Amino acid sequence: MTCESMIERTGKRENAVAQPEGLRGGRVFAPQVDIVEGEHELLLLADVPGVKSEDVEVSYEQGLLTLHARVHPRQDEEQTRFVVREYGVGDFYRSFQIGEGIDPQKIEAHLKDGVLTLHLPKAEAAKPRRIKVNSN
């Protein structure tokens, strides 16, 4: 079973800013992701620079896998006099439609060096299996 049949992007990638429900003011970015298929699982790698593990929410409900990561400003906006300001602070939000080929009970998430890694184990029915050939 291919990766495309197990996980599907929601929304369009033409715009780098996602449109989640308005929980608080500010920008919201769609993190860049790589999805890698292995024999027993899919790995979803999402770039979320500046995020701490306690500020990441990963949820799965009715086939929808949602990533939401909060980023706190690096400086106090009222106390800082910016000379140049290019770094945009905002939350990260992205969702994916997950097919039946993934076992949602075994999904795991890890955050290291600004990369959120989700382990999406394949369901037993989706794993390739070797058929023994008997001879007469």
> What is the CATH code for 3-73+86-123?
2.60.40.790
Q: 23-41: per-residue pLDDT in tens?
A: 556 789 999 999 999 989 9
Domain residue limits, the chain: 3-73+86-123
Q: Which of 16-20, 65-69, 83-87 has the lowest mean pLDDT?
A: 16-20
Give the pTM.
0.73
Helix, strand, coil percentages for the chain (3-state, nearest 5): 10, 40, 50
Q: Is the pLDDT of residue 51 over 80?
A: yes
Q: What average pLDDT does the segment 39-60 reach?
A: 94
pLDDT at residue 117, as a whole number: 97
Q: 84-112: per-residue pLDDT in tens?
A: 878 777 899 999 998 888 999 999 999 99
Q: Is the pLDDT of residue 14 over 80?
A: no
Residue 105's φ and ψ, nearest 5 degrees, are -70, -20
